[in-house]
Amino acid sequence: MSRSSYKRILLKLSGEVLMGPGQFGIDSETVARLAQEVKAAKDSGFELCLVIGGGNIFRGIAGAASGMDRTAADYMGMLATVMNALAFQDALEKIGVDTRVQSAIPMATVCEPYIRRRAMRHMEKGRIVIFAAGTGNPFFTTDTASALRAAEMGCDALFKGTSVDGVYNADPKQDPTATRYESLSFNRVLSDNLKVMDAAAVALCRDNHIPIVVFNIREQANLALVLSGQGTATIVGKEDS
């Protein structure tokens, strides 16, 4: 299946990207811009579900590094993703997109709990489902949650919208000489320990034959380009090139 023939996709948005030009939290202009781009993708015929990270608010590993119990810190990270999901739902509904937030940690007065069959039904009705609170378990990330939900929802691909334009042979933010792959295999990402996504997420996608498309969502209008098979991105799940 080529990149342009995917129909149902899971879009993972980096939490950090929601900060926009800021250093923390949610930038309303950036969220509104991203919501417009997601609406355009839906209007062009894609069936979409979303996972949003929490790195703009709290990461468990940072809490643990400053002395917190890791599990408590991870629950805080998961709650951060719920805040982002609600902000994104608000932005989508303001522009007329029907959405549901489902949380892996039940919080009945805030949003729906995650129920797979119900999420499927929402998607069949043309709603965008935003999966919040990651997997609901500490020691995981929203990348793993994205891979898990993509498999559960029968998605054709997982699009990771982040702050780099693909997978490099080293972290491009640390090594300016790093070079970008057009495509590479799941096993290459794992064996070379490329940290653009956590290993559990990559293995889950590999085992369920879900390609991962890594692209820069900070760049305006890039989502539409990448969805249509153009634009700069790396596809994980093909042979190395």
Ligand X SMILES: O=c1ccn([C@@H]2O[C@H](COP(=O)(O)O)[C@@H](O)[C@H]2O)c(=O)[nH]1
Ligand Y SMILES: Nc1ncnc2c1ncn2[C@@H]1O[C@H](COP(=O)(O)OP(=O)(O)OP(=O)(O)O)[C@@H](O)[C@H]1O
Enumerate the known binding-site residues for UMP.
54, 74, 135-142
CA proximity to 50, closest of 78, 10, 7, 86: 10
Please identify which residue in 27, 74, 156, 165 interacts with ligand X, judged by CB under 6 A: 74
Contact between 14 and ligand Y per CB under 6 A: yes
Q: Which one of 50-58, 201-209, 210-218, 231-239 is the stretch in contact with ligand X (CB under 6 A)?
A: 50-58
Please identify which residue in 13, 41, 82, 145 interacts with ligand X, judged by CB under 6 A: 145
CA proximity to 158, closest of 136, 179, 180, 189: 189
H/E stretch holding 48: strand 47-52
Please work out the total of residues on this chain that contact ligand Y, with binding judged by CB under 6 A.
19
Contact between 134 and ligand X per CB under 6 A: yes
Shorter beta-carbon distance to ligand X: residue 151 or 225? 151
Task: Please give the C-alpha separations between residue 168 and each of 4, 38, 71, 140, 164, in angstroms, as whole numbers.
Answer: 23, 26, 31, 23, 9
Asked if 54 and 133 touch (Cβ cutoff 8 Å), the reply is no
Asked if 170 and 193 touch (Cβ cutoff 8 Å), the reply is no
Residues of span 43-82 touching ligand Y by CB under 6 A: 53, 55
CA–CA separation, 235 and 239 (whole Å): 9
Q: Which one of 3-11, 34-42, 78-86, 201-209 is the stretch in contact with ligand X (CB under 6 A)?
A: 78-86
Write out the residues near ligand X by the rule CB under 6 A.
15, 53-55, 59-61, 74, 77-78, 80-81, 134-135, 137-138, 140-145
